[in-house]
Structure formats: structure tokens, C-alpha cells
Amino acid sequence: MATLTEKAMELFNDMNASKAIATADAAGELNLGPKSSLAAVDPQTLAFADIFGSQTRENLESTKKTSVIAFKNAPPFPGWRVKGTFQGFQTSGPVFEGFARQMKKALNLDIRAVGIISVDEVFNLTPGKAGKRAA
């Protein structure tokens, strides 16, 4: 298991950063979608609110593999990519309750669950450092 840097955690926890999740089904068919709720729970764990994304849900439950990114479209254009392993969905507990409150307040939406991803690899996407493995 890898560890997110402090700067990577800050960017994943920035509500103004752009974020996306990539998954694949058992046949290798790719799926990519925005995931603005994606956040760092701790240096080894990312989580996201499961609101819509049924294809993302199906793929994660099938293959357990994902890659996510967070980036800002403003100088110095910081970005991070994480390869991870899906650990499952939580429908109760402190992480779920925190995400549920946040999504209700921000978007007036109820969530189905919170997806948990363990961090396997971390890559810097910032220009001049892009592609460098951080962990």
C-alpha cells in the first residue's frame, strides 16, 4: 500500500479541484466519469459519494481496480493520479455520515453509499514533474 503526500491529500480534499474516476469491466471495457466528491480520508484511503454512477459501481464491484485523478486548471496546474483497489461500499458509519451531510448541504442530494479505495500507487501530474511516481 502506498501513501498520499500531504500535497496530494490537499488537492483531493479541495472541493474546487477537478476529479475523475476510471474503471474497467471484466471484459476490459473502460469507463471514465467525473467524481467531484472524491476525497482523501487518510494517507492510504480515498472515498467518494455514490450518487449516480451505476457503471462505475458495477465495474468496481467486478474488477476492484481503479485509477483516479485530481487536478486544478490554474497555475501551477497541480495534479495527482492514484491507482487503487476498491475495498467496498459503506452505507453507515462515520465516513458515510460525513459524506451524506456534505452532499446534502452542497447539492441537496442523498447518497446511496460511500466507495472506499485503498491507495496502491501515487503519481505526480504537475507540469515539470508529470509521470513521476510519488509513492
Task: For residue range 108-135, list pLDDT tens digits in order.
Answer: 999 999 999 999 999 999 998 877 787 6
Q: Say if residue 22's pLDDT is above 70.
A: yes
Distance CA 39, CA 47 (A): 5
The verdict on residue 131 lying in a domain is: no
What is the value of pTM for the model shown? Answer: 0.94
Report which DSSP code applies to 74: S
The verdict on residue 1 lying in a domain is: no
Looking at residue 135, its pLDDT comes to 63
The verdict on residue 37 lying in a domain is: yes
Average pLDDT, integer, range 47-75: 94
Percent of the chain scoring above 90 in pLDDT? 89
State the CATH number of the domain containing residue 54. Answer: 2.30.110.10
Rounded to the nearest integer, the mean pLDDT of the chain is 94
Distances (CA, A) of 33 to 22, 51, 68, 75, 112: 7, 12, 10, 24, 17
The boundaries of the domain holding residue 18 are: 6-124
Residue pair 21/39 in contact (Cβ under 8 Å)? The answer is no
The SS3 assignment for 62 reads: helix
| Domains held by the chain: number | 1
Average pLDDT, integer, range 53-73: 95
- Count CB-CB contacts under 10 A for residue 29: 10
